[in-house]
Amino acid sequence: MEIITTPDKRLRETSEKVRVIDDEIRDVISEMRRLSLEWEKEHPYELSAAMAAPQMGVLKRIIIVRDDMENKDNATFTALINPEVIRAEGKVKTDFEGCLSVPSVYGKVPRPTKVRVKAKLEDGTEVRIKATDELARTLLHEIDHLDGVLFIDHIRDKADAFYRMNDKGELVPIADYEGEIRDNLELWGEE
Ligand SMILES: [Zn+2]
């Protein structure tokens, strides 16, 4: 399998709930881990923080989240099955987000800074997660994928919102976001 990117229509679909955690599901999860790390090898300045199953064209409600977002050498991920946001609260903060499925574009996205999420682990255990700041942002971003929502959808004020990573690993503003994003990358779906 491979990571799919915009404008692939599968990124805009709603994924279905996982009923039974069987070998097929476990295979999907290991493929997600493999693809995340493969992507990271090709992107020296970036860390693969998380991924959702629809990003490889599998429309099931599964995400994986990196256990340590600071350290590239720690490459373990926790899989969350049927994750659900129970509550999103706290101050809304705007910060940069990128996405494996939206190549080389970064955007400033407003998100609540506190979330409660319920999900199942790979072994079927039900968990409730209280997350803040970066982890909250990551969970919201990934759970959005399960409903066909991309980070760019949350950006209302499009001026000064989009950036690209240059070959030195620096984020530089995309001046012509209308031309570059709307037309060439077709990020805006059916609008
Ligand atoms: Zn994403």
Percent of the chain surpassing pLDDT 90: 70
Q: What is the mean pLDDT of the chain?
A: 90
Å from CA of 98 to ligand 1 middle? 7
Give catalytic status of residue 24 as yes or no. no
Å from CA of 21 to ligand 1 middle? 23
Torsion region of 15: left, alpha or beta (phi above 0 gives left; psi -120 to 50 gives alpha) = beta
61-72 pLDDT per residue, tens? 999 999 998 888
What domains lie within the chain, and their CATH numbers? 9-185 (3.90.45.10)
Q: Which of 13, 31, 38, 142 is catalytic?
A: 142
* Between 63 and 164, the higher pLDDT residue: 63
Separation between Cα atoms, residue 141 and residue 28, nearest integer Å: 19
DSSP lists the bridge partners of residue 164 as: 105, 172
CA atoms within 13 A on the CB side of 102: 26
Å from CA of 51 to ligand 1 middle? 6
pTM beyond 0.85, yes or no: yes
Question: Does an H or E element contain 83, and which?
Answer: strand 77-99
